[in-house]
């Protein structure tokens, strides 16, 4: 591993995310978890939950009056996005004092709110004939080079065209089932606009072996990225990472209930306003590299969530981040194997522009 120089300690909140076993085979909510997994708020008074899909709140006299209904529910149920709650209100799933209400309804002391979550729909991924860039394959696993724009597994808004749909067709159903019908074979993942190497497990033995290695952080995961600004030396970012307290679709450093996250970065090439780096993960938190590089003032070029609002390269879709190298112990032979996914064309062309080459 690259020699690391300064160590940067923030208290903030990965890119590759180890997926725990999930036996819930139903369609997931906007939070990525089934509603039954959501935690009840801890404040004293106001909530009574009679079933996993039903919430009841009563506004106490100590709570401020005039708060909008959607804002109140968003504060009480932080694992549901505000847009999701607004849809539920408009669909009639929320009652105030026994009557339907508007998103903008203002609440006052004594008001009772009833929220009934709709039953989740049964869903399973279907095979689709989508070409795959396969770096390696045997009876236990498959190493694929995921293209930009492809979602790893079906989720809200993306039920077709995913990597899972493609590998189901390629493997003809021969995939591990530990993570259920929405994520067969998937033991870790990378973001939709991140490219590069990903392990697909063909059986449960392989899945458990790779998952165990992810758990103890023994898998080699090296990424290439172009970041804003000039970095002149290697370093380490060590923080915690968790859900952003205000925007539940984003991650942040040093927030309550964050998990330990460590990213090593190595400077490969420095340009006028950008730096080409290699990042090696010790941990694998959601959006880890993207969040960590933002936290030290060097967001990834093209990142439309954690980077500048205006991208200096028109037409660039999403973060310039590539999972180049992955290494692990083979689940059957026990031998160490390492694979490298070549940089995608768009990434190579960006480097040419930054180098001033035609």
Residue pair 229/54 in contact (Cβ under 8 Å)? The answer is no
Of 356, 302, 43, 72, nearest to 191 (Cα)?
Answer: 302
Region of 37 on the Ramachandran plot (φ > 0 left; ψ -120 to 50 alpha; else beta): alpha
Of 142, 207, 153, 139, nearest to 177 (Cα)?
Answer: 207
Catalytically annotated residue among 191, 204, 260, 304:
191
Q: What angle do CA 196, 268, 265 make, to 5 degrees?
A: 70
Q: Is 293 helix (H, G, I), strand (E, B) or coil?
A: helix
Residues shown for the chain: 358
Handedness of CA 125, 130, 133, 134 (dihedral sign): positive
Residue 191 is a catalytic residue? yes
Q: Is 242 helix (H, G, I), strand (E, B) or coil?
A: strand
**Could you give the dihedral angle defined by the CA atoms of residues 12, 14, 20 and 23, in that order, rounded to the nearest 10 degrees?**
100
Question: What are the CA-CA distances from residue 47 to residues 77, 82, 150, 315 (Å)?
Answer: 10, 18, 40, 47
Question: What are the CA-CA distances from residue 344 to residues 81, 147, 225, 287, 323 (Å)?
Answer: 34, 8, 12, 20, 11
Catalytic residues: 191
């Amino acid at each position: 591993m690259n020699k690391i120089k300064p160590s940067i300690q923030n208290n903030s909140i990965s890119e590759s995310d180890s997926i725990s076993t999930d036996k819930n085979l139903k369609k997931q909510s906007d939070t990525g978890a089934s509603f039954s997994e959501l935690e009840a708020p801890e404040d004293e008074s106001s909530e009574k939950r009679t079933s996993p899909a039903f919430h009841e709140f009563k506004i106490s006299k100590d709570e401020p009056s005039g708060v909008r209904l959607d804002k109140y529910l968003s504060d009480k149920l932080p694992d549901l996005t505000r847009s999701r709650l607004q849809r539920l209100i408009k669909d009639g799933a929320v009652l105030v004092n026994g009557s339907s209400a508007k998103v903008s309804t203002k609440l006052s002391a004594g008001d009772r709110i009833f929220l009934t979550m709709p039953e989740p729909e049964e869903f399973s991924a279907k095979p689709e004939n989508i070409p795959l860039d396969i770096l390696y394959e045997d009876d236990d696993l498959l190493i694929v080079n995921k293209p930009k724009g492809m979602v790893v597994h079906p989720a809200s808004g993306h039920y077709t065209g995913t990597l899972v749909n493609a590998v189901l067709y390629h493997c003809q159903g021969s995939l591990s089932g530990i993570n259920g019908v929405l994520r067969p074979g998937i033991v870790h993942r990378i973001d939709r606009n991140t490219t590069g190497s990903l392990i697909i497990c063909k059986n449960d033995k392989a899945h458990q072996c790779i998952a165990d290695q992810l758990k103890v952080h023994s898998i080699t995961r090296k990424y290439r990225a172009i970041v804003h600004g000039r970095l002149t030396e290697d370093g380490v970012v060590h923080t915690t990472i968790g859900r952003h307290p205000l925007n539940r679709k984003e991650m942040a450093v040093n927030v309550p209930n964050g998990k330990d996250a460590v990213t090593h970065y190595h400077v490969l090439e420095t340009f006028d306003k950008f730096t080409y780096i290699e990042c090696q993960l010790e941990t694998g938190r959601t959006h880890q590299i993207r969040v960590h590089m933002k936290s030290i003032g060097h967001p990834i070029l093209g990142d439309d969530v954690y980077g500048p609002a205006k991208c200096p390269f028109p037409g660039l879709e999403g973060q310039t981040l590539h999972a180049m190298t992955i290494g692990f112990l083979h689940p059957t032979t026990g031998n160490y194997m390492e694979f490298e996914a070549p940089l995608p064309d768009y990434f190579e062309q960006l480097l040419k522009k930054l180098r001033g080459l035609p």
